[in-house]
Amino acid sequence: EKLAQYFNVTLQTIRRDINKLSLDGKLIRHHGGASLSKSVSNITYKNRKTLQIKSKTRIAKLLAEHIPENSSLFINIGTTTEASAKALINKKGLTVITNNINVATILTANDTAEIVLAGGIVRKRDWGITGEATIDFIKQFKVDYGIIGISGIDEDGTLLDFDYNEVRVARTIIKNARKVFLVADNTKFDRNAIVCLCHISEIDGFFTDIEPPEKIIEILSASSVELFVSNPRK
């Protein structure tokens, strides 16, 4: 009510805007209002599935253009990596190793793909698989491409996530892939999360929907990390 009075708009307008900011990960909605998003808890999987869905689809299509047929891949947990799996359905001869049950299910539609699902502890909230068994399993492979998602990208280039166990698996994927591609939309820039995965300079390619902040572009350029933008600003 205070916000409606301050901006001289209706309560419905304020509620709509708070909902939008909440879906964008910029606010956490609660009864009677909202607060700044925190670095210790992620947006729910249900909300993340619909957040920036068009942007994620464009990113995924661009990524698929850079994955050759008959390639071997790691694909980890995340809604953007799940969009990437959908974009790879018609790519022939892939071998995909994943700790994401959703990714494995999506790629069953690819008749020519071999899908290898890692064992471990299943997170019921999003069907991701983590734990020591997952890490030990992934260590057995050396693949052409590792496709990873992330929850936040700090202004200094640090890649951030919320789950320590998930990050440990992602680190193993990075170590055992010949090339690592990061897929992340613009809402991840300057977003807080508590666990450090690695620095963006340690990946080989970054796929996103709009041009990153200037500091990130400078880091990518200095580190020879390729930048792929699905919807560059004109």
Do the beta carbons of residue 55 and residue 186 sit within 8 Å? yes
Mean pLDDT across the stretch 24-48? 64
Quote the pTM value: 0.82
Mean pLDDT across the stretch 159-179? 96
> How does residue 8 score in pLDDT terms, banded at 50, 70 and 90?
very high
Handedness of CA 69, 120, 204, 60 (dihedral sign): positive
What pLDDT was estimated at residue 15? 87
pLDDT at 31 over 70: no
What pLDDT was estimated at residue 28? 67
Rounded Cα distance between 57 and 43, Å, is 19
Mean pLDDT across the stretch 18-22? 82
Lowest mean pLDDT among 36-45, 54-63, 84-93, 222-231: 36-45
> How does residue 234 score in pLDDT terms, banded at 50, 70 and 90?
very low
User: For a pLDDT cut of 70, what percent of the chain falls above it?
Assistant: 88
Do the beta carbons of residue 34 and residue 27 sit within 8 Å? yes
What pLDDT was estimated at residue 38? 58
pLDDT at 85 over 80: yes
What pLDDT was estimated at residue 46? 67
pLDDT at 96 over 70: yes
Lowest mean pLDDT among 23-27, 126-130, 151-155, 187-191: 23-27
Mean pLDDT across the stretch 148-174? 95
Residue count (the chain): 234
Q: Write the DSSP symbol of residue 42.
A: P
For the chain, first and last CA: distance in Å?
39
What pLDDT was estimated at residue 19? 83
User: For a pLDDT cut of 90, what percent of the chain falls above it?
Assistant: 73
Mean pLDDT across the stretch 18-44? 67
Mean pLDDT across the stretch 179-206? 93
Q: What is the DSSP string of 40-64?
A: S-PPPHHHHHHTTHHHHHHHHHHHH
Rounded Cα distance between 174 and 107, Å, is 21
CA 137 to chain centre: 22
Residue 41 phi, psi dihedral angles, 5° rounding: -140, 140
> How does residue 53 score in pLDDT terms, banded at 50, 70 and 90?
confident
CA proximity to 34, closest of 48, 20, 22, 47 = 22
Average pLDDT for the chain: 90
Rounded Cα distance between 229 and 63, Å, is 10
What pLDDT was estimated at residue 176? 98
Token pair of 115, please?
Answer: 């899908």
